[in-house]
Structure 1
Amino acid sequence: MSETKKIKITLIRSLIGTIAVHRACAKGLGLRHRHHSVEVLNTPENIGMINKISYLLKVEY
């Protein structure tokens, strides 16, 4: 069984003033507030959400 890589993401900018779809992506990734960090699996679904709100995030591979 191969080990799935994880990506550490941190919400750098506030969700106030963003569109609802972008807020939903942040919630789907498990981000709650500014400077909150989570580790997510490197899956196509998560990469798509990260790419959509990349202007709000800091991503570490």
Structure 2
Amino acid sequence: MIQDEDNKKPKTEHHLGCELSAISADELRHRISLLRGEILRIEAEIERKEASRKAADNLFGPKV
């Protein structure tokens, strides 16, 4: 029964605003872990973009 095995696997995505009442505490913890990792990834990208912008501003001057 492949379908039964697929139903037991935790979902690896979370949709903002989704209903949480039917989700187990372990699954919610898993989603929190995934979301924290995503926050760190986004923050790293923000830092990279700001460093690139700062380097460009230093070279060419700030945008007016």
Structure 2 length normalisation: TM-score? 0.27
Rg (Cα) greater in structure? 2
More helix by share: 2
Higher relative contact order (CA 8 A, sep 6+): 1
